Structure 1
Amino acid sequence: MSDRPAPDPASPTSPVPTVDLTHWRDGDTDTRRRIAEAVDTGLRAAGFLLVTGHGIDQELRDRIRRTARTFFTLPAAEKQPYATEVGGRGWLGPGAEANGAAEGTTTPPDLKESLSFASEEPTGVPSVDAEWFLPNIWPHQVPALRTDVQDLLTALRTLSDQLLELLATALGAAPDRFTRHTAHPTWGFNINWYPGTETVGEALPGQFRIGPHTDFGTVTVLDRQYGKGGLQIWADPAHGGTGWQDAPYVPGSLTVNIGDLMAHWTDGRWRSGRHRVLPPPPDVPSEELMSLVYFYECDPGTRVGDLPDSHTYLRGQLDAINAQGTS
């Protein structure tokens, strides 16, 4: 795991504001107004926020990483029974995903493995449940993972709705502008393992741990580790940015970005946060990182901006990055 120093989150070149949710929850009117303005500015510039004061237990996150690593380092034959494709539940092995394809770019598969979970509580509508609310798959080799992940998912859903209320306020809308559409939402949760070159080999030209893309939903909440082969965000030079740059980081913080649905919902005022994860660095080829990624969406069938159906769009994007289905 990486212990390299993190970049300065206060760098004047970073378009990503740091938002302390404690100040948002407990601050006076002026404090909340300044936070809302900073959120609006940051999401217009690059689509990213750095969030502190979120209340998500650090030991729980650390424990999930340790348990998940036990699974990822098993022989491939023991992981194979859990193999799935993008949008499914289970193990996404090497070569399963190519995120750059969501932008229409042909890229080599991403250099990672994932344990993938998704919404599972049925709605009672058979056609909806069959596509979006299926049971999750829990590897028997790591029985402790289930309880810890479920605890984290409960906390992340609560946090995501709080973030949506903040976003609505930043737009000058009613606080429930978005959460009125999250009574029974879909979501995805990935534990992404980014091993070093001894596991994945040398990166091919144009190959990344995760290729350049935007996320598809409303908000993504990312618990990441900083590394040289870590997260980069795109600050569009056409809008005053400097192109690709390392994402700012504070230990214990969460990185939040908006996805395509939210960008549509704001009629393009906010930018779906384009990003990538660099391959293992040549000077530290054994660098290993792990990210916990929660993709929050909305109720199936929600009309979002100019999209006729939110989940038709989501399914199309998931199919696009399925390297196994397009190879």
Structure 2
Amino acid sequence: MNTIPLIDFERLQHADAALRSTEISKLDQACRDVGFFYLVNTSIDASEMAQLMGAAKTFFALPQSDKEAIDIKHSLNHRGYGKIGEEQLDEISQADWKETFDMALDFPIDHVLAQTYPSMYGPNQYPSKASIVEALQDYYVSAFNVSMVVLTSMAKALGLAEDFFIQCFKNHVTVLRMIHYPPRPGESHNNGAGAHTDYGCITLLLQDDIGGLQVKNRQGDWVDATPIKGSLVVNIGDLMQRWTNDQYVSTAHRVIAPLNGVHRYSFPFFVEPDYETRVECVETCHSADEPVKYAPILSGDWIQSRFDATYAYREKEK
């Protein structure tokens, strides 16, 4: 893999069955061979992407005290602002040079799921500026709708019922994140985000035009995921790799921190099912020649374990 494939979102839903089938087959091959693809011609309007970009620039330019008023450390369910150095994705490298904001579905603190799984469900901590919140909420809905089409297409490609995956998203823990990569402080700190794989099912990434995302190919080389205007970069996560018995691959990737004077913004949308989703090898991904590799696990337990390994403040709370 020296290039990242292009998948046409419109063709995944095309009225022409032959076109639709061809695009789903291309999607299937990308998931097996690369674990990454560009998604073009999505249903998300360019103006909505621009509004989210503007919201991020406004939010991250706020005084540090304003951002830390909604510090993620104040949230049991991991929502809010994360300052530079809070996250370390590469566990043997240095902390990531980025600041973040996380949101998900907003559950009241007394909701049964928030009471049962307080580390994964609960209220969001929102910025005080209404226009930022509106941009976040609008994009969350739009990106979720796109993700459901992608997961439906994956189910079809795997020979499963088309709602196999999407039926697990009634009370999901899908997270929208805003990321700001400030200029790095000299050449010694070049990992904006250290090498890692994502935890969940799939990730839909909206990135600006600065670049810096790199994907590790099968030869061990880092390949640039060069920004394509209006596209999303989609990748397979660890949970989907388990679900498909390693047939769909979760691929390592990283972000090189911007050079002096350059700011990078990106927006990963981490698509993660209901906490109590039982993830076990799908029936079409194992056989006598290819036995099941992973024991069943609850989706939320898996995501929780990965959060705890990545965030220093959660380790300290144990």
Aligned-pair CA distance for 1:311: 1.0
Q: Aligned runs of 1:1-327 on 2, under 5 Å?
A: 13-14=2-3, 16-85=4-73, 88-101=78-91, 106-121=92-107, 124-140=112-128, 142-197=129-184, 201-204=185-188, 207-228=190-211, 230-237=212-219, 243-281=221-259, 285-305=260-280, 306-326=295-315
Quote the RMSD (CA, aligned, Å): 2.0
Secondary structure of 2:223's aligned partner: strand
- Tell me the matched-pair count: 298
Secondary structure of 1:252's aligned partner: coil
Aligned-pair CA distance for 1:320: 0.9
Aligned-pair CA distance for 1:227: 2.5
Q: Which runs of 4+ in 1 moved over 4 A?
A: none
Aligned-pair CA distance for 1:129: 5.0
Over 3 Å counting, the alpha-carbon distance change for 1:126 and 1:190 in structure 2 is closer
Asked if 1 retains the 8 angstrom alpha-carbon contact of 2:78 and 2:119, the reply is: no
Asked if 1 retains the 8 angstrom alpha-carbon contact of 2:55 and 2:135, the reply is: no
Secondary structure of 1:294's aligned partner: strand
* Amino acid paired to 1:65: M
In the other structure, the counterpart of 1:4 is none
Question: Which structure has the higher relative contact order (CA within 8 Å, separation 6+)?
Answer: 1
Aligned-pair CA distance for 1:78: 2.6
* Amino acid paired to 1:314: I
| TM-score, normalised via structure 2 length | 0.87
Could you tell me how far apart the structure 2 residues matched to 1:298 and 1:176 are?
A: 13
Q: Deviations over 1:88-137 (max 9, x none)?
A: 11110011101112xxxx22110111111123236634533523221111
| TM-score, normalised via structure 1 length | 0.85
Over 3 Å counting, the alpha-carbon distance change for 1:227 and 1:124 in structure 2 is same
Could you tell me how far apart the structure 2 residues matched to 1:266 and 1:204 are?
A: 39
Task: Note the residue ranges of structure 2 that are not aligned, 5 or more in a row.
Answer: 281-294
Over 3 Å counting, the alpha-carbon distance change for 1:190 and 1:259 in structure 2 is same
Task: Note the residue ranges of structure 1 that are not aligned, 5 or more in a row.
Answer: 1-11
Could you tell me how far apart the structure 2 residues matched to 1:121 and 1:163 are?
A: 26
Secondary structure of 1:69's aligned partner: helix
